[in-house]
A and B are shown apart, each in its own frame.
Chain A
Amino acid sequence: MESNWAAENLQTIRTLMERSAVYRRALAPLMLFAGTLGVAAAAIGLWFHLDSMRAFGTLWLGTAVVVVAGALLITRRQAFKDQEPFWSPPTRRIAQALLPPLIAGMCLGVVFTGVDLEGGFTVLLALLWVLFYGCGLHAAGFFAPRGVKLLGWSFIACACVLLLAAAFRKSDLNLKAHWLMGFFFGGLHLAYGAYLYLTGTGKNAT
Chain B
Amino acid sequence: MNPEPYLQLNRVIHEKGRLAIMSMLAASPELSFTELRDALAMTDGNLTTHIRALQQEGYVAVAKSFQNRRPLTTCSLTTSGRKAFADYINLLERIVQQNRPK
Contact = CB atoms under 8 A, between A and B. Distances in A.
Which of A7, A16, A85 has the most CB atoms of chain B within a 10 A radius of its CB? Answer: A16
B19 A206 contact: no
A16 B23 contact: yes
Interface string A1-37: 0110011011011001111110010000000000000
B93 interface: yes
Nearest to A22: B39
B55 interface: no
Given A80-B70, A84-B34, A88-B32, A3 B99 contact: yes
Tell me if A's interface is mostly helix, strand, loop or mixed: helix
Of the four ranges (under 10, 10 to 19, 20 to 34, 35 or more), the interface on chain B belongs to 20 to 34
Contacts of A20: 23-28, 31, 39
A206 B34 CA distance: 11
A82 interface: yes
B27 A10 contact: no
A204 interface: yes
A83 interface: yes
Nearest to B1: A2
A59 B35 CA distance: 38
Interface string B53-92: 0000000000000011011101000000000000001001
Interface of A: 2-3, 6-7, 9-10, 12-13, 16-21, 24, 79-80, 82-86, 88-90, 204, 206
